[in-house]
Structure 1
Amino acid sequence: MADHRSPAIILHSPQLGENIGAAARVMRNFGLTDLRLVAPRDGWPNPAADTMSAGAFDAGVTVTVHQTLQDALEGITWLAAATARLRGIEKRVGDAQGAAQVAHERLGTGKSAIMFGAEKSGLPNDAVAVADFLMTYPVDTDFKSLNLAQAVCVFCAEWGKLAIGPRADEGDNKAGLGDLAPRDELYRMFEHFEEELERAGYFFPPEKTPLMKDNLRAALIRADWTRQEVQTFRGAIKALALGRGKARVLRED
């Protein structure tokens, strides 16, 4: 049975409507209903997706379309990125079973998402940088080609194994932490931090700025931020930007 707390599936820049429909079909097979598309090449709605979905959209799979990944991550507190390449960015790495296990354990603490890249190019580096977990599949090195919908299927099947059993207690928060910060709040924190670093002349030389930002975001994302921690960190950024001795005035105001 579908559960609104179950992970969202994000397709980043998908090209073929047939793959979107096939992905929706396998999602519904295993109780997943939240499908988010980032800049689909052929737009939406797409008749080719309807044909391949086997009625999944009528059976409860909802599709939202977003122009940017940041918009698609609204409300998401944990993100796994499907990739065959580790990109040189330090991340937790595991397989589909590991990703499904973490997502299942977090049912009571927030909304997870599993992100897949375009058919030809996969995920861009800036998308991988904001993921908590890199999900890889043990495919044969002599034949690595995996269809997008097939890749979605591998995760969904692992999710289904767990979803059949007892659900995580919705009120359970093992770490005793506050509400986890959704990705939109983290993005605003990243942007705030990067703006101040820009003003301080941190990003040099200019051509290395994108990589430096990706590495900063990758490091920060591992902290599993709560909303309170995000607010605290942004307050610290403001204090540093104001300069020594002025933070107290800001608090008093």
Structure 2
Amino acid sequence: MSAQAPVIILAEPQLGENIGSAARAMLNFGLTELRIAAPRDGWPNPAAEPLAAGAFDEGVEVTAFESVEAACADIGYLVAATARPRGMEKPVTNASGAVEWLQGQARKTAVMFGNEAQGLSNNHVALCDAIMTYPVNKDFASLNLAQAVIVFAHAWGEMQGQAGRFEGANAGVGEPASREDLIGMFEHFEYELDRAGYFYPPDKTPLMSRNLRNAFVRGQWTTQEVRTFRGAIKALALGRGKARITRED
């Protein structure tokens, strides 16, 4: 990654299932350091394992602390995730903005999320340098803890330029067709259309031809696609069963 990944801090989480789900969300987007402050049911928690889907074995490291203060003691820049206005003089931004701020820090950074029942307390938010909020429905701001984590994690992964499992997928796309190939296809198609009597009345031929060419150009054809289409034109022009086509594709 181009920047040091932030720590994710869960302040006083209640359910092991949500801790596991948060870890799973994190690892999907390259975040691996999870801190849990004063978890209600203690740690380790067997209930976290199934929802983590192997995240604890594949890279997410979990450290438990007795308090929120202890969990963020070494953090140089701390962002609070909350949907509620706090009346505090702190900068407020969305997930993408938080990622930009975090990337600009030379210090160790973290994003802190509150528990399932009440979110972060004002005392927790007071420890933070900034506030991150999401554009949720003002009449229903009720994300699950892991859902809240994944919104930020996705923004982080996206800003780091992660391509995910489709990385390099465009390598399988064929070479773009040259203008010469396209023009040859146009002329071939138009020739056969003219033979079939498509261009009628004759004075409309230029307009009809331009409309067809414009539609084809929007398709961003590859060289292979041009060859395939010209083979199809040949087959239609000759008629089924009248001649054997030597395919170029």
TM bucket (normalised to shorter chain) is 0.5 to 0.7
**1:83 maps onto 2:82 in alignment:** yes
CA RMSD of aligned residues (A): 1.5
Deviations, residues 21-59 of structure 1 (Å, cap 9, x unaligned):
010001011111110000001111111111100100011
Q: Which amino acid aligns with 1:132?
A: D
> Residue 114 of structure 1 aligns with which residue?
111
Distance 2:72 2:141 in 1: 28
User: Which TM-score applies when normalising by structure 2?
Assistant: 0.63
- Once the two structures are TM-superposed, the CA of residue 4 in structure 1 deviates from its matched residue by 9.2
- Secondary structure (helix, strand or coil) at the match of 1:11 reads strand
Distance 1:86 1:132 in 2: 15
> Residue 151 of structure 1 aligns with which residue?
148
Q: Which amino acid aligns with 2:57?
A: D
Report percent identity of matched pairs.
56
Distance 2:78 2:104 in 1: 13
Deviations, residues 48-86 of structure 1 (Å, cap 9, x unaligned):
111100100011100000111121113211000011112
- Secondary structure (helix, strand or coil) at the match of 1:25 reads helix
> Residue 246 of structure 1 aligns with which residue?
none
Distance 2:108 2:61 in 1: 16
Deviations, residues 83-104 of structure 1 (Å, cap 9, x unaligned):
1112111110011111111112
**1:125 maps onto 2:122 in alignment:** yes
> Residue 50 of structure 2 aligns with which residue?
51
| Gap runs ≥5 in structure 1 | 166-253
Q: Which amino acid aligns with 1:97?
A: S
Distance 2:69 2:142 in 1: 28
1:138 alignment partner, one of 132, 135, 138: 135
Distance 1:123 1:17 in 2: 18
Q: How does 1:155-174 map to 2 (within 5 A)?
A: 155-164=152-161
The structure whose RCO (Cα within 8 Å, separation 6+) is larger is 1
CA contact under 8 A between 1:81 and 1:134: conserved in structure 2? yes
Deviations, residues 193-244 of structure 1 (Å, cap 9, x unaligned):
xxxxxxxxxxxxxxxxxxxxxxxxxxxxxxxxxxxxxxxxxxxxxxxxxxxx
CA contact under 8 A between 2:4 and 2:103: conserved in structure 1? no
CA contact under 8 A between 2:36 and 2:63: conserved in structure 1? yes
Q: Which amino acid aligns with 1:52?
A: L
| Gap runs ≥5 in structure 2 | 163-249
User: Which TM-score applies when normalising by structure 1?
Assistant: 0.62
Q: Which amino acid aligns with 2:124?
A: A
Distance 1:139 1:47 in 2: 32
Deviations, residues 174-206 of structure 1 (Å, cap 9, x unaligned):
xxxxxxxxxxxxxxxxxxxxxxxxxxxxxxxxx
CA contact under 8 A between 2:3 and 2:103: conserved in structure 1? no
- Secondary structure (helix, strand or coil) at the match of 1:76 reads coil
- Once the two structures are TM-superposed, the CA of residue 5 in structure 1 deviates from its matched residue by 2.8
> Residue 35 of structure 1 aligns with which residue?
34
Distance 1:130 1:46 in 2: 27
Q: Across the two proteins, how many residue pairs are aligned to each other?
A: 162
CA contact under 8 A between 1:104 and 1:162: conserved in structure 2? no
- Secondary structure (helix, strand or coil) at the match of 1:103 reads helix
Distance 1:71 1:58 in 2: 25
Q: Which runs of 4+ in 1 moved over 2 A?
A: none
